[in-house]
Amino acid sequence: MADNRQIIELYSELAENPKKDFGWEKGLENAKAHSYKEEWIEKLPDEVWEYCAAVGNPFSVGDIPEGARVLDLGCGAGVDLLVATILVGESGRVTGVDITPKMVEKAREHAKEAGFDNVEVLENSFDALDIEDESIDIVISNGAINLTSCKESVFAEIYRVLKPDGKIYFADMIDISVEEGTCCSVEQSACCDSENSNEGEEDWANCVAGTLRQDELIEIIEKAGFKDVVCTGLTHYTTAETTQGATFKADKVPAVKIREKHWNKIFKTKDYTQVLWHQNSPEFSIAQIKSHINSREDAIIDIGCGASFLVDELLQEGYSNITLLDVSGQALEIVKERLGALADKVTYVCSDITTFETSKRYTFWHDRAVFHFLLDAKDRKKYFEVLHDSLEEHGTALIGTFSETGPLQCSGLDIVQYDDKKLKSELIDGLELVDSIEVIHTTPKETEQSFRFFMIEKV
């Protein structure tokens, strides 16, 4: 696997000796070969171009508008960092990230020499960026991602920091060999161990061992939550007989759309009575609703209802003011068909909970297992803001999550386990945790899952 010490050693030497022959192209002629514009070359100090070891031109695959916030991942001595700064203008801002201290120092020097003050350069790991969620318009990179051993983590971080409509424009080395199952293929995972690779540490640093085939790289990017992932072309750049430079672009898919697609697929392709979370009779939830509602006309909302039988039992008990909310329109259609003539007695809302808006106020908020899927703090805060605004004064919310001894995943998705302390830390002003109860759910496969249900009151 990649050894950062070897990479840092090599690129520290490049920072100190840019004219040394490292066995791969660099310098001003390399920049011109990649069609870097003459106006960029003229605006930047001559010394900057000595460090241009670009494997491609990320600026050729998409526009960077004035005023944009750009992140350069693996900025090196700052060539692309400063070109991006020219493009965003004084109203924009560019952040560079690199793991090599001497490159970080060199990039800062070059930004100062160029007279740019809307640039910052961070010494930072690519898979743990010290950058706020959804704060970046465009991520660029040039020959750096192949140097990372866990590309899934890198693209997960890129997804996190990009705004909902954010984009990636990058150039990188790819494996052009025809042999299947090369080092770090998707089957082995990009987070492969050194025993899975026949390549030495030096081959990682020289952009050989860490390369993936084009299809493998695209698959990882798509799984990270991106759409329209395209290899826009190959470049002249090579580091070995089996590698070649290539340029890529992709658009971020908002998390809401990812959740919608995932759950629609589940309810289209699976028997909902056999999924692990299914309950033939939601006895616990019914008991809690009965004990906290005074009138059968009080408003109840079931968050992430899926195809649950809760609504069937509530109708049988005579409750008449029921709203079902789910991100999956497919799940709601299943419920409507199952209810038959009773379907018109229920209100249906197809929405992600983080974007739900209503003027109605509910007496009881029921969520058996949505909140624990919210991995981002921003989404969790939005959830409780929606809850607070939707609940009547002194209304009650029952939220179920996997407990601290429960599973770590559900339906192939990661979840967050909760105990009282952790749940309390997420609550916003105006909401108070009044009770919590552990409930053991027996799945259709006769296995057990530990849930914890939290009773919350609007105060």
Residues 415/402, Cβ–Cβ less than 8 Å: yes
For residue 205, what pLDDT band results from cuts at 50, 70 and 90? low
**23 with 14: CB under 8 angstroms?**
no
What is residue 177's predicted lDDT score, i.e. its pLDDT?
86
- Copy the structure tokens of residue 84: 């991006």
At the fourth CATH level, the homologous superfamily of domain 4-253 is: Vaccinia Virus protein VP39 (3.40.50.150)
State pLDDT tens for residues 210-219: 899 999 999 9
Q: What is the DSSP letter of 212?
A: B
User: For residues 178 and 405, which has the higher predicted lDDT (pLDDT)?
Assistant: 405
348-370 mean pLDDT: 97
Q: Is the Cβ–Cβ distance between 56 and 89 less than 8 Å? A: no
pLDDT at res. 25: 87
Q: Please report, for the chain, the start and end positions of each structural domain, with discontinuous segments joined by +.
A: 4-253, 257-458
Nearest CA-CA partner of 327 in 377, 254, 270: 254
What 3-state class would DSSP assign to 246?
strand
Among the residue ranges 38-42, 72-76, 188-192, 321-325, the one predicted with the least confidence is 188-192
Cα separations (Å) of 56 from 32, 248, 294? 11, 10, 67
pTM of the model: 0.77
Instruction: Tell how far CA 61 is from the center of its chain.
Output: 22
| CATH superfamily, region 257-458 | Vaccinia Virus protein VP39 (3.40.50.150)
The CA distances from residue 77 to 7, 98, 142, 196, 248, in Å, are 14, 9, 12, 32, 22
Rounded CA gap, 166 and 71, in Å?
Answer: 11
